[in-house]
Amino acid sequence: MIEQKIFKFVTKYQLIENGDKIVLGVSGGPDSIAMLNILHKISKEINFEIFVAHINHGLRENAEMDEKFVQDFCQKIGVPFFVKHVNIKQIAQEQKRGIEETGRKIRYEFFDEIMEKTASNKIAIAHHCNDNAETILMNLLRGTGTKGLIGIEKKNGKYIRPLLEIKRHEIEEYLNQNHIVARHDESNDDNTYTRNKIRNELIPYLKKEFNPNLILALQRLSSIVEEEEIYWEKQISQVYQEVCISDCELNKNEIVIDLKKFNELEKVVQKKVILYAIRKIFGTTQGIEKIHMEDIIKLCNNNIGNKYLTPNKHMKIVTQKKQLKIMAVTC
């Protein structure tokens, strides 16, 4: 049973614990509706509360019907429902962003808003095993480091993915068995979007021509790389303590590293120490690419005082007085 499988998954990795309050992102599609129905059922065993957050993007003709469907579903099972109406196209134009990027930003901001309003401590996203396979392939095609081969993390801070070990066909079977007809998002059929093209064209081709068990193979790859990254994280944490002069816990906008000790490290360790430090200050390494890492290490190895780099407008990397400083720039 899929419910038992998810129960074991969330308890094994402590994704959900007694007393949790969890905001669920629910679009009305098969994945999020299955997650809502399953978590509602197992909440009686683990004792946690759930709240549903739904975004009406105003993009599709059926957006109002999607909203009504999710609202009715929540009312039927007795789960609090919150909705936000936005005009994604207009906001994307105003902010000069892509529609996908804008939608994601607004969606997660709304989840945070409902999390605060309900005094929740976690946000559940309905990513599943097939989504993870798509993400790994997308990262691979873009040129990723090892961390990108993990794909989607089962837990990342306040975000949890209870369905991450469940395949798409299992979700479809579950909904059929429970006589639940979820909504269909027509935009998922539009192959002008990279992810849709990977889902609808590349993965079926690879399964047919190379490996019918491609999804499982990519899931194994993800698990192996995740184990190695956990090991590396522990090792890099120790190295960081040895080379760090001043941590961002003392000054939240700056980390200071002993440049001499740093330059004695292997290059692969240097990169991981820099990424570790950036993650400590900014909470993410998003936007830091291979070229940035090469430039930073080159700057450090040259060991010339009072030189700096700005990988982006929020960050400044400085070498001065035999120190490497990673700084947050306040705009």
Q: Are residues 76 and 213 in the same domain?
A: yes
Q: Are residues 205 and 253 in the same domain?
A: no
Is 58 inside a domain boundary? Answer: yes
Q: Are residues 35 and 152 in the same domain?
A: yes
Radius of gyration of the chain (CA): 22
Q: Are residues 44 and 87 in the same domain?
A: yes
Is 236 inside a domain boundary? Answer: no
Q: Are residues 254 and 205 in the same domain?
A: no
pLDDT tens across 268-314, in order? Answer: 999 999 999 999 988 888 788 888 999 999 999 886 666 888 888 88
- Supply the pLDDT for residue 237: 96
Low-confidence residues of the chain: pLDDT under 70: 59, 249-251, 303-306, 331
Q: Are residues 264 and 205 in the same domain?
A: no
Q: Are residues 41 and 130 in the same domain?
A: yes
Per-residue tokens: 222 = 């993800």
Is 235 inside a domain boundary? Answer: no
Residue 166 phi, psi dihedral angles, 5° rounding:
-100, 135
Instruction: Name the residue range of residue 196's domain.
Output: 2-219
Of 228, 171, 217, 147, the residue nearest 5 (C-alpha): 171
Any idea what the CATH number is for the domain that residue 284 is in? 3.30.465.60
Q: Are residues 88 and 168 in the same domain?
A: yes
CB neighbours of residue 94 within 10 Å: 10
Is 224 inside a domain boundary? Answer: no
CA 84 vs. chain centroid, Å, equals 22
Q: Are residues 252 and 137 in the same domain?
A: no
Is 188 inside a domain boundary? Answer: yes
Question: CA-CA distance, 216 to 183, in Å (whole number)?
Answer: 27
- Supply the pLDDT for residue 22: 98
Q: Are residues 50 and 114 in the same domain?
A: yes
Q: Are residues 83 and 156 in the same domain?
A: yes
Any idea what the CATH number is for the domain that residue 84 is in? 3.40.50.620
Per-residue tokens: 39 = 């978590």
Per-residue tokens: 154 = 């089962």
Question: CA-CA distance, 167 to 178, in Å (whole number)?
Answer: 17
Structural domain tally of the chain? 2
Q: Are residues 194 and 261 in the same domain?
A: no
What lies within 8 Å, CB to CB, of 188 at 6+ separation is: 29, 196, 199
Are 236 and 276 in contact by the 8 Å Cβ rule? The answer is yes
